[in-house]
Structure 1
Amino acid sequence: MVIRAEEADTVQALQGLASSSSSVRLRAALAVGTAADSRCVDALIERCAVEPDFHVRDMLTWALTRLPASVTVPKLVDELGSECAQARSQALHTLSKVGDRRAWPAITRALLTDADEEVARSAWRAAVVLVPEGGASGLAEVLATQLGRGGRETQLSLSRAVVALGEAVAIPVLRAPMAGPDPRVRQHAIATERLVRDPDAGFGFAVEQAKRIMVLGASAREE
């Protein structure tokens, strides 16, 4: 059997994905993405689940976006049920980059509230990209249940997701947690409300405003 040069290059690139060198794996992912051969989809997705290097993972995602959504989306959706947190997270990240709203039904409440913070953050980002018309309010309600969760980066990710849904959707779901009993949730909700009203303010500034409001009360919100 005669193997064409292009096929031989792709086979070599796929083998490179298993190299111990991150730079070799990066070049291999670039080569596979450049070839845009749909037969590579399984190998790319499998590598996403175990790849330790952020830059290589990003290149793997790029390679997957080069393939037809009809090929990648069903397989990425299957990954969302994986027991491996990285597999779920990377599949969600890639779905957000593909942007095919046929994947929306797979963005479940379980993923949006996943115990693994990286999975949850990836789910929030994917959800705001994929949410269909009429679904934003329901999504915002689920996101609001995660207020106060995690450290700064996690809270920033959640705030950005809520902001992306727009003021008309975000403000109503923030009212209850802004007045709730948990100070951590209340502070995050107030900071997010500040960002909704002024997206250019910056998260750090919004948090400081939230702290001030919590100390001084409603009068500080009006200033």
Structure 2
Amino acid sequence: MAMSKQDTDVIRALQALEDGSSSVRLRAALAVGTTPDPRFVDKLIERCAIEPEFYVRDMLTWALTRHPASKTVPELLQQLRSERAQARSQALHTLSKIGDPQAWPAITRELLSDADGEVARAAWRAAVVLVPKGEEAELAAVLSTQLGRGEREMQLSLSRALIALGEVIVPTLQAAMKDADPRVRAHAIATERLLRDPEAGYEFAIEEAKRVVALGDTRTEE
């Protein structure tokens, strides 16, 4: 029996998602998102895990958000257990864009402290989007265990995630300001300053925080 035009188009799109040219893969992801079909979901998720180009991965994520959450979310949750770091980070990124509450229980402490920096950052962003009302303080406590981790970009990502939770983070930050590790203290102080003055900029806040830590005074302004 001859295939319908729709079936032929699906097969061509699936093949194009694996093309050697990134521009072809980008156009294919755009086409798949423009005309969603459940048959695309598995391939989109598979490509997210291995796609080398950032802008193509971003289009793959967009294409997944165009499909029903009932189809995408369960499969994305499976990816969170993958041994491949990119599979975990892209699944988290996509779940944050979909925003389906059923994904929240899968954002575990292990993911929030993942050894891979990109996975951890994606988990932080997903967590602040998905956290149920009333559980923000508990999330802030878990996120605070990552204070002082990594270099500027990673620390800024964590500060942004914490700040997105609002005033509930203040007690947690104040506790971290007394931590034995000066990097943790400085990061906590910088995050609190940014919460109070978002226009200050992270560079200014962290340099000021380092001076405060060097002087041995971690009191915050009332």
Look up the equivalent residue of 2:61 and give its one-letter code. T
Aligned to 2:82: 82
| Matched residues, number | 222
Mapped to 2, the partners of 1:165 and 1:93 lie a distance apart of 18
Pick which of 10-19 and 77-86 moved more: 10-19
Aligned to 1:163: 163
What's the CA shift for 1:217?
4.6
Matched-pair contact (CA < 8 Å) for 1:17–1:24: yes
In structure 2, stretches of 5+ residues that fail to align are: none
Look up the equivalent residue of 2:119 and give its one-letter code. V
Q: How does 1:58-77 map to 2 (within 5 A)?
A: 58-77=58-77
Aligned to 2:205: 206
TM-score, normalised relative to structure 1 = 0.95
In structure 1, stretches of 5+ residues that fail to align are: none
TM-score, normalised relative to structure 2 = 0.95
Aligned to 1:92: 92
RMSD, aligned α-carbons: 1.6
Look up the equivalent residue of 2:72 and give its one-letter code. T
Look up the equivalent residue of 2:90 and give its one-letter code. Q
Q: How does 1:22-171 map to 2 (within 5 A)?
A: 22-167=22-167, 169-171=168-170
What's the CA shift for 1:218?
3.7
Matched-pair contact (CA < 8 Å) for 1:10–1:35: no
Q: How does 1:168-179 map to 2 (within 5 A)?
A: 169-179=168-178
Mapped to 1, the partners of 2:130 and 2:74 lie a distance apart of 15
Percent identical residues? 68
Look up the equivalent residue of 1:204 and give its one-letter code. E
2:194 is aligned with 1:195: yes
What's the CA shift for 1:10?
2.4
Aligned to 1:184: 183
Mapped to 2, the partners of 1:219 and 1:77 lie a distance apart of 41
